[in-house]
């Protein structure tokens, strides 16, 4: 049943009040029309609870803008939503079209730093997040008394004489809920074994991220990436007001899963809106994504906390190969990744999550 306006509704009860489901929620497509964003296709989701988010069909079905009751959940960069034609694959050119947003996918054959691996030059965070979807399906339908909405599509990262990896993605939400799901299948459709790196760059921003906000994670081991992160590492889970000239800090988390094999991590702000509280969580399977990378960036304008479940670290493919941790996909092999991202709409919800971590 849809939980809306303080009560549960059956399909028949709710539709008796409506001429079109879009009156209370649903999904619909639109196209941006000017500047570097011209031609970018989006699917806007509204769950009826105040959660709304845009899935970028032109860029890997990543999630751009996200809000809860008019409050931003995701950090947005100065680039805005940029058409994939402006992607610069060399070196750190990825940053020129990194719009931020709730989810940015990195991979599939490199994630993390630009590097040279076995003579091949690889750009920062790989190509997949700048590939437009094909065979797109955006729709909604009733399943009993539940109304589901989804966007589905396929992105192929391939080259002659090289990899041929197919990502099939489905983003789903349910009317009356404060969460969404990402269900990904990655298949090696090539004839040769392929390097495989996968990272979900989840970018949380103000007002979730603000002075006094916290990171909530289950027990585990925390390792600073470098000397910058080593400095002040005891404060990795707390966040301060924006500071000009702040140097980013990155932490590697090896977290204990729950009894079902899932890891849940969240950024929460208990004092937001007169102590009403607001937070965002991500839940995923540890066996699928063994690493959680935390990006702590407290600079002015670039004021963001990244929660990044991954099957790798972020120092580049060459370093991953040197450590012996680089993953591969055999011809015909398929890997599945499932994530749940949701809103913690108040202090009670924050404390309920904290109690089970």
Query: What pLDDT, in 10s, does the model give residues 243-261?
Result: 999 999 999 999 999 999 9
Report the C-alpha gap between 202 and 17 in whole angstroms.
37
- Of 98, 67, 53, 60, the residue nearest 302 (C-alpha): 98
Report the C-alpha gap between 229 and 294 in whole angstroms.
11
Q: What angle do CA 206, 311, 292 make, to 5 degrees?
A: 35
Q: What angle do CA 124, 126, 132 make, to 5 degrees?
A: 130
| Average pLDDT for 143-159 | 98
| Average pLDDT for 162-179 | 98
Distances (CA, A) of 277 to 27, 101, 175, 283, 311: 28, 21, 23, 20, 32
Fold of 2-356: Beta-galactosidase; Chain A, domain 5 (2.70.98)
18-51 pLDDT, tens digit each: 999 999 999 999 999 999 999 999 999 999 999 9
Provide the pLDDT for residue 218.
Answer: 98
CB 272 within 8 A of CB 278: yes
Number of CB atoms found within 10 A of residue 127's CB:
23
- Of 203, 183, 198, the residue nearest 53 (C-alpha): 203
301 phi, psi to nearest 5 deg: 75, -45
Provide the pLDDT for residue 331.
Answer: 98
In this predicted structure, the answer to whether residue 1 has a pLDDT above a threshold of 90 is: no
Full 3-state SS string of 24-91: CCEEEEEECCCHHHCCCEEEEEECCCCEEEEEECCCCCEEEEEEECCEECECECCCCCCCHHHCCCCC
303 Cβ partners below 8 Å, 6+ apart? 75, 205, 206, 209, 242, 297
Considering the chain, what is the average pLDDT of its residues?
Answer: 98
Tokens, residue 331 = 């011809």
314-334 pLDDT, tens digit each: 999 999 999 999 999 999 999
179-230 pLDDT, tens digit each: 999 999 999 999 999 999 999 999 999 999 999 999 999 999 999 999 999 9
Parallel/antiparallel/unpaired status of strands 179-188 and 164-174:
antiparallel
Report the C-alpha gap between 181 and 179 in whole angstroms.
7
Tokens 């990795």 sit on residue = 236
| Average pLDDT for 264-270 | 98
Provide the pLDDT for residue 287.
Answer: 98
Tokens, residue 135 = 């065979």
Q: How many CA atoms lie within 13 A of 331 on its CB side?
A: 4
Report the C-alpha gap between 42 and 54 in whole angstroms.
6
């Amino acid at each position: 049943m849809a939980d809306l306006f303080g009560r549960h509704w059956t399909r028949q009860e709710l539709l008796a009040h409506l001429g079109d489901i879009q009156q209370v929620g649903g999904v619909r497509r639109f196209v941006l029309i000017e500047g570097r964003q011209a031609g970018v296709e989006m699917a806007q989701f509204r769950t009826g609870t105040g959660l709304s988010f845009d899935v970028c069909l032109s860029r890997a079905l990543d999630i751009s803008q996200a809000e809860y009751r008019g409050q931003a959940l995701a950090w947005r960069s100065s680039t805005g939503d940029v058409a994939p034609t402006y992607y610069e694959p060399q070196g750190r050119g990825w940053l020129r079209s990194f719009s931020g947003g709730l989810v940015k996918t990195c991979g599939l054959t490199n994630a993390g730093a630009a590097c040279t691996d076995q003579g091949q030059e690889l750009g920062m965070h790989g190509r997949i997040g700048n590939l437009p979807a094909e065979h797109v399906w955006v729709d909604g339908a009733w399943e009993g008394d539940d109304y589901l909405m989804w966007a589905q599509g396929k992105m192929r990262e391939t080259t002659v004489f090289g990899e041929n990896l197919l990502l099939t993605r489905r983003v789903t939400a349910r009317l009356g809920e404060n969460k969404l799901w990402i269900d990904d299948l990655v298949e090696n459709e090539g004839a040769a074994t392929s390097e495989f790196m996968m990272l979900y760059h989840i970018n949380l921003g103000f007002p979730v991220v603000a002075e006094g906000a916290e990171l909530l994670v289950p027990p585990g081991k925390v390792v600073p990436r470098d000397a910058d992160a080593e400095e002040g590492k005891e404060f990795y889970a707390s966040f301060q007001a924006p500071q000009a000239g702040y140097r980013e800090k990155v932490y590697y988390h090896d977290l204990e899963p729950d009894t079902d094999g899932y890891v849940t991590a969240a950024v929460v702000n208990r004092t937001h809106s007169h102590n009403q509280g607001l937070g965002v969580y991500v839940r995923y399977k540890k066996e699928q994504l063994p690493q959680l990378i935390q990006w702590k960036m407290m600079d002015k304008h670039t004021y963001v906390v990244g929660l990044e479940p991954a099957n790798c670290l972020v120092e580049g493919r060459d370093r991953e190969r040197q450590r012996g941790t680089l993953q591969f996909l055999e011809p015909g092999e398929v890997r599945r990744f499932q994530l749940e991202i949701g809103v913690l709409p108040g202090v009670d919800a924050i404390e309920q999550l904290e109690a089970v971590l």
